[in-house]
Amino acid sequence: MIWLYAACFGGALLLLLALFAPWGRGSIDIAWFLVAAVLLLFLAGLKARSVILEQAIRLREESRQEERLLDEIESQRREIDALADGFDVALLVCDARANVLYANRTAVEMFGFDEPMGRSILAVSLSHDLERITLRALEKREAATAEVTLGYPQERMVRAKAWPDPIEGRAFLSLYDVTDIRRLERIRQDFVANVSHELRTPLANIRAIAETLLDELKHASKESKQYLEQIIVEVDRLSQLSGDLLVLSAAESGPIRKQGCDLSAVVRGVVNQLRAKAQTKGLKLSFDGPERLPIEANPTQMTQVAINLIDNALNYTNEGEVRAKVSQNGDDAVFEVADTGIGIASEHLPRIFERFYRVDKGRSRATGGTGLGLSIVRNIVEVHGGTVSVQSTLGKGTTFKVTQPIGEIAEEKTSIDESVGS
Ligand code: ADP
């Protein structure tokens, strides 16, 4: 390139000298200057031509490369589209204002919206919950999940997750259709609840008949009486089991009816109710907590939680004490039950909230346990948006801790009698 400029400049200079230099005008020198200038300019022209040709070739090559790159991008995009369209999960990308930038085929079908691109997620899904988790991923830059009900084009339950794009101000959304799973769960819950309910009457009848026979068969053998007593014990166990199954399916079936519930009054009431049992076993049973701690919850279910935990503590403690404590920690109400009982070995701790899981089946049966108490606790606590945890040392004792959001409390005092009776 420098040669081209030099040749142009030299040629132009020689031409000027040839035309205007005073010392050479009209002499032979002018002819030489002119020849040299023309030669230089000719060379410059040649060089310019080759430079232009080179540039044109380079540009053409670049544009070919660009085309190849675009083709590659397009084919990759088609591949990704085909892949994403094959998923049974709806996938969406939203921009910083929660407008849809991309939606796979499942998403288009799920929302019944042919052209969702450029529309807001609220307009496309008609779901405020979905908009809320998308905005949360965009604004707070954190993943959010929710189980969302979509009403159009048909009612569906979906498990939705929104998470932020790490680089740009965008959010990704995935929606998994759980309508069928929830329907099957509902059928299972209804089945269990119906069977449990239907069992109650025949069980009550069998018990009544066995009791009558026991009263009437005064001269029967000792063995026959023992058989009848055994029938009554087993019927009681079955009744307890069907009762627990009913409570569990009610806890699972949510949503729950929350109302003003004084947690202190609920736990204090259960402690009073179980004081006689503690005394029979020679255990100290105490309550510690504020006069009132109103939370937004279902009082019947909270009472069930307190009964199950305190009753368990009494069942699995041979000597010492059981302490029930209620306190407030920020926006949460905390309910703890600590005992000085047999404790639970660490390998059992992860499983004790499972249905029918018992560390010692014999002891559980002897105390009238069904193995459902802690799963009822966990279900109730979780549908209330809370958590339950356990700490235990074998041979020393166990502490169960329930943390429950206080919620927008209604200033209504609920007594244990009301809640048990309701
Ligand atoms: P169960 O009807 O057998 O008491 P739960 O679901 O209430 O069933 O409890 C599950 C198992 O957890 C019990 O069988 C028992 O082994 C253990 N467990 C529960 N609470 C305690 C406790 N306070 N101390 C020791 N073990 C406990």
Q: What is the pLDDT of residues 40-93, one digit of tens each?
A: 888 888 888 998 999 999 999 999 999 999 999 999 989 988 888 888 999 999
Residue 123 backbone dihedrals phi, psi, to 5 degrees: -65, -35
Which atom of ligand 1 lies closest to the CA of 369? 2
Does the CB atom of residue 262 touch ligand 1 within 6 A? no
* Sheet with 284-288: strands ordered across: 284-288, 321-329, 332-339, 397-405, 387-393
Cα 342 to Cα 274: distance, rounded to the nearest angstrom: 19
Measured from the CB, is residue 316 less than 6 Å from ligand 1? yes
Strands 284-288, 321-329: pairing kind:
parallel
Query: For residue 44, which of 16, 15, 5 has the smallest C-alpha distance?
Result: 5
Q: Estimate to the nearest angstrom the gap between the alpha carbon of 116 and the chain centroid.
A: 26
Kindly report the protein residue whose alpha carbon is nearest to atom 4 of ligand 1.
369
CA distance 135 to 156: 22
Pick the atom of ligand 1 nearest to 360's CA: 16
Which protein residue's CA is at the shortest distance from atom 19 of ligand 1? 312
Looking from the CA of 298 toward its CB, the CA atoms found within 13 Å total: 21
pLDDT digits (tens, 9 = 90+) for 260-312: 899 999 999 999 999 999 999 999 999 999 999 999 999 999 999 999 999 99
Q: How far is the CA of 383 from the centre of ligand 1 (A)?
A: 21
pLDDT recorded at residue 218: 76
| Contact call for residues 264 and 225 (beta carbons, < 8 A) | no
Question: What integer pLDDT is reported at residue 255 of this predicted model?
Answer: 61
Tell me, using a 6 A CB cutoff, whether residue 173 lines ligand 1. no
* Coil, helix or strand at residue 408: coil
Q: Mutate which of 374, 392, 394, 398 to test ligand 1's pocket (most atoms within 8 Å of Cβ)? A: 374
> Can you point out the beta strands (E) in 263-368?
284-288, 294-297, 321-329, 332-339
Residues of the chain with pLDDT under 70: 1, 3-4, 7-8, 11, 14, 18-19, 21-29, 254-255, 409-422
Which DSSP helix (H) or strand (E) runs through 261?
strand 259-262
- Which residues does residue 329 pair with via DSSP β-bridges, in sequence order? 332
